[in-house]
């Protein structure tokens, strides 16, 4: 695979730099520690190689051997990390980014250099001047591809850039289920279904780690809202939690084997995530046997003894906590016998297990930045956009755009210069620069987010594909002027935007800034109007009946303009399907308003990236009463008809499904003949849903089928037991009984359905 090849080449390439890397890191460690004695290597001393260098041994054994060789101070230094923007004086090799933890050069233990990386190597508010990276579309777009190979390639691309920039721990792998359509970070996550989100995040993580660096999976768990996220106490029935958000994490860990898990800011059933024994020990260790380490979210630690005993292994961004809980207080707690010495060894063993298992220990990152093939990486970003953008409506053959159109007008959304991106720690400063950047005046995100456009002009891209047409742009600020421009054109395309950011939930699903009025005015002026939505999740569409074509472009990343142009002109077919339900109204949601503490405005100061002191603030409950019925299962249970269901998306061609039949037994599946009746190639996505008893059905499998025009294929979709089985004693146990299996083209549109009886079925860890 390409990612693995790059990693192997890099491994060879970097060995030449290793001596320098070690010696400069040694100086740093020496400065921090006061003094360091450099031990001779085993070979120099004429001894056999130590256990930790024996690559044939399991990572955990090598890690345990390393820990035995470490001093107590070295161990204590490895369990808490610095936040570079606040570290003074900064170590010589510290790059501005999210985190830095000095290593132990005499043992080859790497300095951990952490960067945010959900959508690319992040560089929020340009903390590293001039340092650009490739920006993927938002994770919702990746999820919409339903293609784990593409998720892998996106991860491999980010990992390669991170490694070349000398980062080795990526704060990636966001897999909180999008329970609330309000979620400020929904764009950073992989949708509302545990199987889809888990499979896709696992593939992404494997891609990142194919570069011999560590990826996290985050934010464990139930960090489902941004409003006062450090104080939101997510209340949920345990069985329902295990059946939903924890299922997504478990599948992601199983498939991706991330070196680290990041615990979230919020509380779950009364305990902060990062000191929640049920989450960190009962589930993660006792049930799932997870071998890597748990790092805190930045500013997410509230105690020493409780957190250490609950299972937190490393305090991140220590300057953001009220005190460095895992610094001196941990040493004191160990000395006083409140935290066993063995627990410190366990923390460090787990960190080193993640470091070794990911390949980082044996393939240290380069000491200096390496060249990056940005063109090849941009192609990955474009492919994810082309496969993940969703066609929601296409009446009267408005799309694809005819190359014969003489006059095309683009309206709004800064479509003359670029495409919108989401805000917060995932923000990439993309290759090509930032054509529009709007600082925030207030609010919890103001210190670390700006409204940022990537340099990928839809106007230029459309002009390039329609050289014979007159393609113009008007801003959309004035609906009357926009309508006049639309009236004068063959086709009008409105680019409507909805910005979302970490640390804030959106307060309405309606498009902001009078864009509904703008769309109405344009649609009234030109029957050939297209709306392209650049949103971080669902938006309401009161104008839907009056607009013939609607495209959900998400935040389409640094090649979004080019991808959109190709899709609009039909150079590539639409293949994306919604990974998240779009409601018809806010009243349909499980929580029809964003939740704030009872009695008024939330203590915003506690909600930002680094939260600081929350001791005076009181947590407040958020009731996840829908339990495991997240997203489409909620709508089904309520008998509500959404605007667009989960799994929905149109193509330019027409598929016909026939001869569907179902198989029970140990490997339940559905088989169907898919025929492409249209004149173009396209991607069909038959989806398999299963329901037991009265519970709403859930996605248990899908197949992505690319079919040339007028061809057909028999396709089998198998049931993935991880979607519905319970995890018992190290195995997935699917309870036997009657299941209603439905093959559909989305969560509500059935091709065929049948009740089958399944025997109890036990599956060992089903990786990948």
# binding residues, ligand BGC (CB under 6 A): 8
Nearer residue to ligand BGC within complex by CB, 262 or 688: 262
Exactly one of 152, 182, 290, 298 binds ligand BGC (CB under 6 A); that residue is 298
Nearer residue to ligand BGC within complex by CB, 274 or 493: 274
Nearer residue to ligand BGC within complex by CB, 116 or 245: 116
Q: Do 112 and 97 meet the contact criterion of CB atoms below 8 Å apart?
A: no
Tokens standing for residue 602: 């939330």
The phi-psi region of residue 432 (left if phi > 0; otherwise alpha if psi is between -120 and 50; otherwise beta) is left
Q: What DSSP line would sit under 209-265, residue for residue?
A: HTTS-EEEEEEETT----TTTTTEEEE--HHHHHTTHHHHHHHHHHHH--SEEEE-S
Q: How far apart are CA 619 and CA 608, in angstroms?
A: 15
Residue 175 contacts ligand BGC per CB under 6 A? no
> Mask: binding to ligand BGC, 318-347, rule CB under 6 A, as x and -?
------------------------------
Q: Do 216 and 172 meet the contact criterion of CB atoms below 8 Å apart?
A: yes
Nearer residue to ligand BGC within complex by CB, 219 or 306: 219
Shortest distance (Å) from residue 662 CB to ligand BGC: 41
Nearer residue to ligand BGC within complex by CB, 74 or 245: 245
Nearer residue to ligand BGC within complex by CB, 449 or 509: 449
Shortest distance (Å) from residue 218 CB to ligand BGC: 6
Nearer residue to ligand BGC within complex by CB, 100 or 582: 100
Exactly one of 297, 315, 416, 720 binds ligand BGC (CB under 6 A); that residue is 297
Exactly one of 77, 163, 212, 218 binds ligand BGC (CB under 6 A); that residue is 218
| Residues ≥6 apart with Cβ < 8 Å to 181 | 509, 537, 538, 580, 583, 586, 589
Shortest distance (Å) from residue 180 CB to ligand BGC: 16
Nearer residue to ligand BGC within complex by CB, 444 or 645: 444
Exactly one of 59, 107, 158, 171 binds ligand BGC (CB under 6 A); that residue is 171
Nearer residue to ligand BGC within complex by CB, 116 or 626: 116
Beta-sheet strands, E only, within 103-220 = 112-116, 169-171, 214-220
Q: How far apart are CA 404 and CA 494, in angstroms?
A: 20
Nearer residue to ligand BGC within complex by CB, 105 or 191: 191
Shortest distance (Å) from residue 345 CB to ligand BGC: 27
Q: Is the dihedral of CA 578, 584, 590, 593 positive or negative?
A: positive
Nearer residue to ligand BGC within complex by CB, 146 or 272: 272
Shortest distance (Å) from residue 452 CB to ligand BGC: 16
Nearest to 217 by CA among 186, 183, 189: 189
Tokens standing for residue 627: 């339990």
User: What are the phi and psi torsion angles at 220 (to 5°)?
Assistant: -80, 110
Nearer residue to ligand BGC within complex by CB, 209 or 383: 209
Q: What does each C-alpha distance from 301 to 101, 323, 375 come to in angstroms?
A: 17, 9, 40
Shortest distance (Å) from residue 40 CB to ligand BGC: 38
Shortest distance (Å) from residue 121 CB to ligand BGC: 12
Helix, strand and coil in the chain, % to nearest 5: 30, 20, 50
Q: What is the CB neighbour count within 10 angstroms for residue 533?
A: 24
Nearer residue to ligand BGC within complex by CB, 264 or 597: 264
Question: What residues form DSSP beta bridges with 511?
Answer: none
3-state secondary structure of 687: strand
Shortest distance (Å) from residue 744 CB to ligand BGC: 34
| Residues ≥6 apart with Cβ < 8 Å to 84 | 90, 94, 95, 96, 97, 98, 99, 100, 127
3-state secondary structure of 382: helix
Residue 74 contacts ligand BGC per CB under 6 A? no
Shortest distance (Å) from residue 307 CB to ligand BGC: 17
Shortest distance (Å) from residue 295 CB to ligand BGC: 9
Q: How far apart are CA 401 and CA 709, in angstroms?
A: 20
**Footprint (CB under 6 A) of ligand BGC, residues 604-663:** 609
Q: How far apart are CA 626 and CA 633, in angstroms?
A: 9
Nearer residue to ligand BGC within complex by CB, 171 or 357: 171
**Footprint (CB under 6 A) of ligand BGC, residues 532-571:** none
3-state secondary structure of 676: strand
Shortest distance (Å) from residue 171 CB to ligand BGC: 3
Shortest distance (Å) from residue 763 CB to ligand BGC: 32
Nearer residue to ligand BGC within complex by CB, 226 or 243: 226
Exactly one of 98, 119, 268, 511 binds ligand BGC (CB under 6 A); that residue is 98
Q: What is the CB neighbour count within 10 angstroms for residue 626?
A: 19
Shortest distance (Å) from residue 98 CB to ligand BGC: 4
CA angle 531, 534, 539 (to 5 degrees): 80
Q: How far apart are CA 383 and CA 388, in angstroms?
A: 8
> Mask: binding to ligand BGC, 247-286, rule CB under 6 A, as x and -?
----------------------------------------
Nearer residue to ligand BGC within complex by CB, 424 or 479: 424
Shortest distance (Å) from residue 99 CB to ligand BGC: 7
Shortest distance (Å) from residue 554 CB to ligand BGC: 19
Shortest distance (Å) from residue 297 CB to ligand BGC: 5
Q: What DSSP line would sit under 303-361, residue for residue?
A: -SHHHHHHT--BB-SGGGSSS-TTSHHHHHHHHTTSS-HHHHHHHHHHHHHHHHHTTTT
Position closest to ligand BGC via CB: 171
Question: What residues form DSSP beta bridges with 116?
Answer: 171
Question: What residues form DSSP beta bridges with 728?
Answer: 731
Residue 116 contacts ligand BGC per CB under 6 A? yes
Nearer residue to ligand BGC within complex by CB, 63 or 449: 449
Q: If residue 481 lies in a helix (H) or strand (E), which one and from where to where? A: helix 479-487
The phi-psi region of residue 359 (left if phi > 0; otherwise alpha if psi is between -120 and 50; otherwise beta) is left
Exactly one of 53, 394, 425, 452 binds ligand BGC (CB under 6 A); that residue is 425
Judging by DSSP bridges, how do beta strands 549-552 and 390-394 pair with one another?
antiparallel
Shortest distance (Å) from residue 312 CB to ligand BGC: 15
* Helix spans in 511-625 (H): 515-525, 560-568
**Rule CB under 6 A: which residues touch ligand BGC?**
98, 116, 171, 218, 297-298, 425, 609
């Amino acid at each position: 695979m390409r990612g693995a090849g790059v990693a192997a080449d890099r491994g060879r390439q970097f060995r030449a730099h290793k001596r320098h890397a070690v010696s400069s890191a040694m100086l740093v460690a020496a400065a921090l520690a006061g003094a360091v004695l450099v031990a001779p290597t085993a070979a120099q001393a004429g001894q056999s190689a130590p256990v930790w260098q024996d690559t044939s041994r399991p990572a955990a054994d090598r890690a345990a051997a390393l820990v035995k060789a470490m001093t107590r101070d070295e161990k204590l230094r490895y369990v808490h990390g610095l936040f570079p923007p606040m570290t003074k004086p900064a170590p010589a090799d510290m790059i501005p980014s999210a985190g830095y933890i000095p290593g132990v050069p005499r043992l080859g233990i790497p300095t951990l250099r952490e960067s945010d990386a959900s959508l690319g190597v992040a560089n929020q508010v340009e903390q590293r001047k001039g340092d650009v990276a490739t920006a993927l579309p938002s994770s919702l777009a990746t999820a919409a591809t339903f293609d784990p190979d593409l998720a892998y390639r996106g991860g491999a691309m980010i990992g390669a850039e991170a490694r070349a920039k000398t980062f080795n721990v990526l704060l990636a792998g966001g897999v909180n289920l999008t329970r609330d359509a309000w979620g400020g970070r929904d764009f950073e996550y992989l949708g509302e279904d545990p199987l889809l989100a888990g499979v896709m995040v696992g593939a992404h993580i494997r891609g990142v780690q194919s570069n011999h660096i560590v990826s996290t999976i985050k934010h464990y768990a139930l960090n489902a809202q941004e409003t006062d996220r450090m104080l939101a106490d997510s209340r949920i029935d345990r069985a329902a939690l295990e059946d939903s958000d924890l299922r997504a994490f478990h599948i992601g860990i199983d498939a991706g084997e991330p070196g680290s898990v990041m615990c979230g800011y919020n509380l779950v059933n009364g305990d902060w995530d990062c000191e929640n024994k049920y989450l960190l020990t009962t589930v993660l260790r006792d049930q799932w046997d997870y071998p890597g380490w748990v790092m805190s979210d930045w500013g997410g630690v509230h105690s020493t003894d409780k957190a250490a005993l609950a299972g937190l292994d490393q305090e991140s961004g220590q300057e953001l906590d009220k005190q460095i809980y895992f610094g001196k207080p941990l040493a004191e707690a160990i000395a006083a016998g409140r935290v066993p010495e063995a627990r410190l060894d366990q923390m460090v063993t787990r960190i080193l297990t993640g470091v070794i298992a990911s390949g980082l220990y044996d393939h240290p990152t380069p000491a200096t930045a390496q060249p990056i093939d940005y063109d090849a990486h941009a192609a990955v970003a474009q492919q994810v956009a082309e496969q993940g953008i969703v066609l929601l409506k296409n009446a009267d053959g408005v799309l694809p755009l005819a190359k014969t159109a003489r006059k095309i007008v683009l309206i709004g959304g800064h479509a003359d210069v670029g495409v919108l991106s989401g805000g917060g720690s995932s923000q990439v400063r993309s290759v090509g620069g930032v054509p529009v950047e709007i600082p925030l005046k207030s609010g919890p995100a103001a210190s670390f987010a700006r409204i940022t456009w990537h340099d990928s002009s839809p106007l230029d891209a459309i002009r390039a594909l329609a050289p014979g047409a007159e393609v113009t742009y008007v801003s959309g600020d004035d609906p009357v002027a926009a309508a006049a421009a639309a009236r004068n054109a063959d086709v009008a395309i409105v680019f409507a935007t909805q910005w979302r950011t970490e640390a804030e939930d959106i307060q309405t699903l309606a498009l902001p800034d009078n864009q509904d009025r703008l769309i109405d005015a344009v649609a009234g002026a030109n029957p050939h109007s297209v709306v392209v939505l650049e949103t971080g999740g669902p938006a309401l569409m009161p104008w839907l009946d009056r607009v013939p074509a609607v495209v959900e472009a998400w935040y389409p990343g640094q090649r979004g303009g080019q991808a959109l142009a190709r899709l609009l002109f039909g150079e590539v077919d639409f293949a994306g399907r919604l990974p998240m339900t779009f409601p018809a109204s806010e009243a349909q949601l499980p929580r029809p308003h964003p939740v704030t503490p009872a009695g008024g405005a939330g203590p915003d100061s506690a909600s930002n990236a680094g939260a600081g002191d929350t001791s005076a603030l009181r947590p407040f409950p958020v009731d996840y009463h829908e339990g495991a019925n997240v997203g489409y299962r909620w709508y089904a249970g309520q008998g509500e008809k959404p605007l667009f269901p989960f799994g929905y998306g149109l193509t330019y061609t027409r598929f016909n499904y026939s001869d569907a039949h179902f198989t029970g037994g140990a490997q339940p599946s559905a088989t169907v003949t898919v025929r492409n009746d249209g004149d173009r190639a396209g991607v069909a996505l038959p989806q398999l849903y299963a329901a037991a008893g009265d519970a709403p059905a859930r996605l248990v499998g899908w197949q992505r089928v690319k079919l040339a025009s007028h061809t057909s294929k028999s396709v089998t979709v198998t049931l993935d037991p991880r979607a519905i089985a319970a995890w018992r004693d190290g195995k997935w146990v699917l309870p036997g009984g009657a299941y209603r299996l439905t093959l559909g083209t989305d969560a509500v549109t059935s091709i065929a359905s049948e009740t089958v009886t399944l025997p109890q079925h036990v599956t060992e860890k089903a990786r990948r």
